[in-house]
Amino acid sequence: MIFASDNWAGAHPKIAAALSAGAQGYASAYGTGELDRKVEQRFCELFERDVAVFFVGTGTAANSIALASLSRPGGVAFCHTEAHVIEDEGGAPEFLTGGARLRGVTGDLGRMDPKALDAAIRLHPAQFVHSGQPMAATITQATEIGTLYGLDQIAVIGEVCREHAIPLHLDGARFANALVALETTPAEMTWKRGVDIVSFGGTKNGCWCAEAVVVMDPAKASDLPFLRKRSAHLFSKSRFIAAQFDAYFEDGLWLETARHANAMAATLADRLEESPAVRLAWKPQANEVFALIHTQIASELQARGARFHQWNLPQGFSQTLNDGEALYRFVTSFATTPADIEAFGALLP
Amino acid sequence: MIFASDNWAGAHPKIAAALSAGAQGYASAYGTGELDRKVEQRFCELFERDVAVFFVGTGTAANSIALASLSRPGGVAFCHTEAHVIEDEGGAPEFLTGGARLRGVTGDLGRMDPKALDAAIRLHPAQFVHSGQPMAATITQATEIGTLYGLDQIAVIGEVCREHAIPLHLDGARFANALVALETTPAEMTWKRGVDIVSFGGTKNGCWCAEAVVVMDPAKASDLPFLRKRSAHLFSKSRFIAAQFDAYFEDGLWLETARHANAMAATLADRLEESPAVRLAWKPQANEVFALIHTQIASELQARGARFHQWNLPQGFSQTLNDGEALYRFVTSFATTPADIEAFGALLP
Amino acid sequence: MIFASDNWAGAHPKIAAALSAGAQGYASAYGTGELDRKVEQRFCELFERDVAVFFVGTGTAANSIALASLSRPGGVAFCHTEAHVIEDEGGAPEFLTGGARLRGVTGDLGRMDPKALDAAIRLHPAQFVHSGQPMAATITQATEIGTLYGLDQIAVIGEVCREHAIPLHLDGARFANALVALETTPAEMTWKRGVDIVSFGGTKNGCWCAEAVVVMDPAKASDLPFLRKRSAHLFSKSRFIAAQFDAYFEDGLWLETARHANAMAATLADRLEESPAVRLAWKPQANEVFALIHTQIASELQARGARFHQWNLPQGFSQTLNDGEALYRFVTSFATTPADIEAFGALLP
Amino acid sequence: MIFASDNWAGAHPKIAAALSAGAQGYASAYGTGELDRKVEQRFCELFERDVAVFFVGTGTAANSIALASLSRPGGVAFCHTEAHVIEDEGGAPEFLTGGARLRGVTGDLGRMDPKALDAAIRLHPAQFVHSGQPMAATITQATEIGTLYGLDQIAVIGEVCREHAIPLHLDGARFANALVALETTPAEMTWKRGVDIVSFGGTKNGCWCAEAVVVMDPAKASDLPFLRKRSAHLFSKSRFIAAQFDAYFEDGLWLETARHANAMAATLADRLEESPAVRLAWKPQANEVFALIHTQIASELQARGARFHQWNLPQGFSQTLNDGEALYRFVTSFATTPADIEAFGALLP
């Protein structure tokens, strides 16, 4: 009954097995080996174009280094006010970009409002040094609260970025969960909608630690090897990340684990809804479920072994809380089982 | 016949097996799980004192974050002119410390000369803002060229640091190789000789990616969690590093693999010395062998499948090279077999 | 009729004369001369305690270096959402602190709301690395929109900071204007109300470029010489700033120029109020006047030679704008004359 | 008898007078005024091409911001091992570039050896992330020890930079002294010899604080306004720097003061040579004289009021010191008078 976070799970057995299998033998270090090349090529196929790929070990590193590659002096990057990059990464994006600022943009239920984005960018007119210069926008897909940008919504954000001549970054810590929920392809969800650079996450979806910065136009990636190295994110035995991704993509494992996690979330949501003591906060779209529960009931559930966290009310949340109610987050993953959900459901009043 | 580097090997089977075994089940994320605690405790036992331990994924991260914890505005850190931190880490120590400078100090065969260190520190008098302020010294054990600081030599360096009131860092990317070569203990090789903070490496000695910053006085570690996070080096599934270290320390595996690597280096050195076409550059002390070989012969060896790199002549190297000779480095590891060496030896003229 | 900004004026004749007089002779460089000492002593007298004083050339430098001296890894500094540090300094505070983040705190008419401050700090719990650690709060006195914190209001903010164990910085770009408006003393407006460090501005009030970081507890200033030097803000001929401050304080010139500027603002406000085409936006408290004017009328005034800027509506502004109305800012200074105001008044409908 | 440094002098009377004259009236702030434009145009005339000009207040700021505009991730800038940027700027170049490293290059008597520069750059091969990427070379003219690069020597350095596709920066803290000594023009001493960007110093030669970053190709200066702002070096009353430069260039004042300072140095050198107790260390070429003097005699001279500093022996210095001898530096300036030198000469044994 662990719904605390998708990073509380370990690694998928196939990932672990691939890693063990790859432990043998020698390979050229620092990302120059054959397996690195093979997996990079796999990314090109997935994105249906030549992309430049840089493996790193944490999602925060992927986001920070991706933004660093877009950084400009006095640069301002625009993100949702509740985005992971601004709220949960300990200042890494600002630090690893060498001083870029993040400016929060409003929007309901985790999604940046395109009009608010446009207005925010306009607060930083070109060549007005006092306010700095716009350098990028970044969206999270799926968002921090398990909602999704529809493909059209991404396209609209991409259009705003184009108008202001800034690139668009997509934080895909839960890329696969979003992808299968939208029943689309990596290409459709990114560059065909105006996304220039992606943090492609594998960790939350079954890997130990496999993240990649994916640059849609390799010609714009020339600084990235140095940006990764100067922040100490180039692994000597880089193939241990490559091996994870290799297994992750093999036979569509990544889509399968994401579909499973999403399905578990849907089941969990159904189960929660059945309880008169619980109200869903909004319809879950990926692998996170948010619900309003009385704190006393939540405490009892936790006391009986369920793990899940209280959460701040997001912007645009319009329901009224009853006395004693609070918002709680439940996250499912590749490792969640129907039995987990049944066990939890049995605890619900 | 792979002697290119100890990071060309994968992971020791026991490490890989432990990682697979640990892939099951859930654990609290971001280094707060039980296994993290257990391994941290193991470090305390090894160092025979309460130490603060911070897992990271690369040796460069360990060095950079360790130095960041010692950083002061306008700070200058002193290292050997050929140290890994100054020559091979792409500026990460300077960047992740937020602008500390590294000043090279001379010394023969990879070891910083204590008198040269003292003289270098004196170039930065207290409160003279123009030259900045001394913030730390850092030594590498084993050194970049496979030599060792004797315990007394570490103590002398430690004494110089004490006199100037700066802390001493030890880059232990090959900590285990040095330890078994000196037949000593972690405590004797570090804090009992004046070392305040250690980059403790597991990667080169059989792990996939397991490094730790070990702070001898936990009271001085309060900034480290934030320094690690802001540089994006806090892993969500931190237990995958903990699991590696757990297996690494189990039944002395780490000492065994280090002894093996060192023994292989000694065997390789013997084999090289037997060839009239090869001269040992200096006596190997850990798991690296350096030899003078005619470039044509080296090329032939490489053409026949041996992997090893040409190297720059280090400071204090006093032999005269014959026409056409160059210096080459051979590195052994847990994965090197006697058969590898025999196969290579058979190629030698 | 120049009301664009108080930094459009040059230097007060007495400042200029002092600078000319001081151009003769030699003095020890880099802030070590006798005049530097004398002026530092003068600051101690003004603040009625031993303070540490560091001259710099711009207000942005004073703010940034002051915050840098309070910086912690992953640090978050709290300021009003419309403060100069976050809106108008091109990212210098973030950059010169080495990566501190600024978090906007709401509050009406330019003043940070103490309760909102408390709530914002609580979003960054101690030791929760993901959200970073609180490092300081900063208030602007007078605020960006010419309002003032009363002494009690400063004390309340100071109390919130004490509760959370973070220091309080005061951006005093218009320190003198606030001081004379409140008819108080530097000690009463700062450390007696919980302020730990001040950006003391002279530039807007009659100097060419004279700003100082004033640290209330000199024991906490040990890093400041290095922070100033590493950001290239230590002047070799430091005495040219000292000379400006020397004249600035002589016979209370600084209070006189501030009183004059404030009085001119009051006169201007009266004159504006007399016009049926103008509504004061709020009561001016220092040397800035904000008024609602129809854009067409404003354009005509500007076309006839008056210089003043349109301004964004501040948080907490509750008046309703009529069609075509906009907010405009008028700033007075030591150089503003009654004749200027009369000339401008004559243009008003 | 002040020969401690050329920054111990105040300002030339004509500079001071211009500043007083310019204190009247209003001007658009932050470098957007008419006088700023006029002086920028004057720079274009002096350099015989369209240049982009950015005023700053310290030489360290000029150097640091100039290098920042050339910065690349993992970047390495090459300078003489005893250059001001690496020895005397408290880490500002590294900090304000956001982490660039300075690598010392050897060379006799303050001048970087072109072959050593070439060899140093080759230690940083393109795309080898571990060693970082070359980003610029920087020379000092006149050098820290008062020697000069001949025009041909600059051209050779420029050629090495071209071969490696890195730009060349010139630290011209004593630009005018070098210019008049070589009897050449700004264009000949800079871009016609391969210099891409200049720190143009006025402070040491008669200004209070007037320095400029001069970019030979304005198309490469687009980031500079933001680099200057983010380091807090954009002055609101920018015209006070413009006014200094305006007077500095008027009727060739800058060349006159530089010629005077150089002539005073030559006279001082003659006077020193006449003393049997003194040996010139090398022939002075600009406004600095270095001499070998017995420390006891030097102390006596200092005790009788002469101000000058002991200095480290530079690289390439081949004379043998007698027992008790040390090297001393004497600097002359616009303010040095023949009477000063005569008074000092009279003290010499």
Q: What is the CATH number of the domain that holds D302?
A: 3.90.1150.10
| Angle between the N-to-C axes of helices C253-274 and C239-249, in degrees from 0 to 180, rounded to the nearest 10 | 70
The verdict on D292 and D342 lying in the same domain is yes
The verdict on B281 and B210 lying in the same domain is no
Are C334 and C305 a contacting pair, CB within 8 Å?
no
What's the average model confidence in pLDDT over D266-271? Answer: 97
**Beta carbons of C72 and B130 less than 8 Å apart:** no
What's the average model confidence in pLDDT over D301-324? Answer: 94
Q: Which residues of D touch C29 (CB under 8 A)?
A: 4-5, 7-8
Whether the per-residue pLDDT at D125 is higher than 90: the answer is yes
End of a domain among B197, B230, B252?
B252
State the smallest CA–CA distance between residue B76 and chain D in angstroms.
9
> Is residue A7 assigned to a domain?
no
What is the percent of chain D with per-residue pLDDT over 70, rounded to a whole number? Answer: 100
**Considering CB atoms only, which of B75, B88, B100 is closest to D130?**
B88
**Beta carbons of C229 and B130 less than 8 Å apart:** yes
**Considering CB atoms only, which of A15, A57, A234 is closest to B235?**
A57
State the smallest CA–CA distance between residue A72 and chain D in angstroms.
8
Nearest residue on chain B to D101, alpha-carbon basis: B91
Query: Which residue range forms the structural domain that includes residue D285?
Result: 253-347
Residues of B with CB under 8 A from a CB of D: 74-76, 87-91, 94-95, 98-102, 129-132
> Is residue D2 assigned to a domain?
no
Whether the per-residue pLDDT at B127 is higher than 90: the answer is no
Contacts of B114 (CB under 8 A, 6+ apart): B153, B156, B157, B159, B160
Chain C touching partners, 3 or more CB pairs below 8 A: A, B, D
Q: How many domains does the structure of chain C reveal? A: 2
The verdict on D27 and D132 lying in the same domain is yes
What is the percent of chain C with per-residue pLDDT over 70, rounded to a whole number? Answer: 100
**Considering CB atoms only, which of D4, D12, D16 is closest to C19?**
D16
Whether the per-residue pLDDT at D126 is higher than 90: the answer is no
What's the average model confidence in pLDDT over C285-309? Answer: 97
Q: What pLDDT band is residue C334 in, cutting at 50, 70 and 90?
A: very high
**Beta carbons of B10 and A4 less than 8 Å apart:** no
Nearest residue on chain A to C312, alpha-carbon basis: A123
The verdict on C91 and C55 lying in the same domain is yes
Residue C329 sits at φ, ψ, to 5 deg, of -110, 135
What is the percent of chain B with per-residue pLDDT over 70, rounded to a whole number? Answer: 100
List C-alpha distances in Å: D327 to A295, C17, D85, D145, D281.
78, 40, 22, 11, 8
**Considering CB atoms only, which of C99, C130, C230 is closest to B74?**
C230
Tell me, yes or no, if the pTM score tops 0.90.
yes
pLDDT in tens, C88-138: 999 999 999 999 999 999 999 999 999 999 999 999 998 899 999 999 999
> Is residue B8 assigned to a domain?
no
Nearest residue on chain D to B94, alpha-carbon basis: D99
> Is residue A209 assigned to a domain?
yes
End of a domain among D224, D252, D280?
D252
| Predicted local confidence at residue C274, as pLDDT | 95
DSSP, collapsed to helix, strand or coil, labels residue A113 as: coil
The span from the CA of C205 to the CA of B320, in Å, is: 71
| Predicted local confidence at residue C1, as pLDDT | 86
Nearest residue on chain A to B94, alpha-carbon basis: A230
> Is residue C317 assigned to a domain?
yes
| Predicted local confidence at residue D127, as pLDDT | 86
Q: Which residues of A touch D95 (CB under 8 A)?
A: none
The verdict on D285 and D236 lying in the same domain is no
**Beta carbons of A230 and D99 less than 8 Å apart:** yes
End of a domain among C252, C278, C296?
C252
The verdict on B113 and B260 lying in the same domain is no
Contacts of B93 (CB under 8 A, 6+ apart): B60, B63, B64, B67, B77, B85, B86, B100, B102
State the smallest CA–CA distance between residue A349 and chain C in angstroms.
32
| Predicted local confidence at residue A126, as pLDDT | 85
| Predicted local confidence at residue B1, as pLDDT | 86
Are C218 and C52 a contacting pair, CB within 8 Å?
yes
**Beta carbons of A73 and D227 less than 8 Å apart:** yes
Residues of B with CB under 8 A from a CB of C: 30, 68, 72-74, 98-99, 127, 129-130, 132-133, 223, 225-230, 234
> What does the angle CA B200 – CA B201 – CA B202 come to, to the nearest 5 degrees?
125
> Is residue C220 assigned to a domain?
yes
Nearest residue on chain B to C235, alpha-carbon basis: B130
The verdict on B51 and B190 lying in the same domain is yes
State the smallest CA–CA distance between residue A245 and chain C in angstroms.
26
> Is residue D4 assigned to a domain?
no
**Beta carbons of C101 and A91 less than 8 Å apart:** yes
> What does the angle CA C257 – CA C259 – CA C265 come to, to the nearest 5 degrees?
105
What does the pLDDT profile of chain A (349 residues) look like in tens digits?
A: 899 999 999 999 999 999 999 999 999 999 899 999 999 999 999 999 999 999 999 999 999 999 999 999 999 999 999 999 999 999 999 999 999 999 999 999 999 999 999 999 999 998 899 999 999 999 999 999 999 999 999 999 999 999 999 999 999 999 999 999 999 999 999 999 999 999 999 999 999 999 999 999 999 999 999 999 999 999 999 999 999 999 999 999 999 999 999 999 999 999 999 999 999 999 999 999 999 999 999 999 999 999 999 999 999 998 999 999 999 999 999 999 999 999 999 999 9
**Considering CB atoms only, which of A30, A73, A226 is closest to D73?**
A226
> Is residue A2 assigned to a domain?
no
Nearest residue on chain A to B90, alpha-carbon basis: A230
**Beta carbons of B10 and A231 less than 8 Å apart:** no
The verdict on B224 and B276 lying in the same domain is no
The span from the CA of A38 to the CA of A245, in Å, is: 10
The verdict on D212 and D288 lying in the same domain is no
Are C232 and D233 a contacting pair, CB within 8 Å?
yes
Buried (b) or exposed (e) across A2-31, using 16+ Cβ within 10 A?
bbbbbbbbbbbebbbebbbebbeebbbbbb
Q: What pLDDT band is residue B291 in, cutting at 50, 70 and 90?
A: very high
Quote the ipTM score: 0.97
Edge-to-edge strands of the sheet including C309-310? C278-280, C288-294, C325-331, C309-310
Closest listed residue to residue C74, CA positions, set A101, B58, A56, B225: B225
pLDDT in tens, C264-282: 999 999 999 999 999 999 9
pLDDT in tens, C230-239: 999 999 999 9
What is the DSSP annotation of D42-94?
HHHHHHTS--EEEEES-HHHHHHHHHHTT--TTEEEEEETT-HHHHSSTTHHH
Quote helix, strand, coil % in chain D, to nearest 5. Answer: 45, 20, 40
Buried (b) or exposed (e) across C173-211, using 16+ Cβ within 10 A?
bbbbbbbbbbebebbebbbbbbbbbbbbbbbbbbbbbbb
Closest listed residue to residue A202, CA positions, set A235, A240, A233: A240
Q: Which residues of A touch D70 (CB under 8 A)?
A: none
User: Which tokens hold the place of C178?
Assistant: 């606030």
State the smallest CA–CA distance between residue D172 and chain B in angstroms.
18
The verdict on B246 and B259 lying in the same domain is no
Cβ pairs B/C, distance under 8 A: 53
Q: Which residues of B touch D99 (CB under 8 A)?
A: 91, 94-95, 99
Nearest residue on chain D to C95, alpha-carbon basis: D230
Nearest residue on chain D to C64, alpha-carbon basis: D232
The verdict on B39 and B97 lying in the same domain is yes
pLDDT in tens, A54-92: 999 999 999 999 999 999 999 999 999 999 999 999 999
**Beta carbons of B232 and A20 less than 8 Å apart:** no
State the smallest CA–CA distance between residue D69 and chain B in angstroms.
17
The verdict on B248 and B262 lying in the same domain is no
The span from the CA of D235 to the CA of B200, in Å, is: 48
**Beta carbons of D101 and B89 less than 8 Å apart:** no
CATH of the domain at B81: 3.40.640.10
The span from the CA of C243 to the CA of C247, in Å, is: 6
State the smallest CA–CA distance between residue A58 and chain C in angstroms.
13
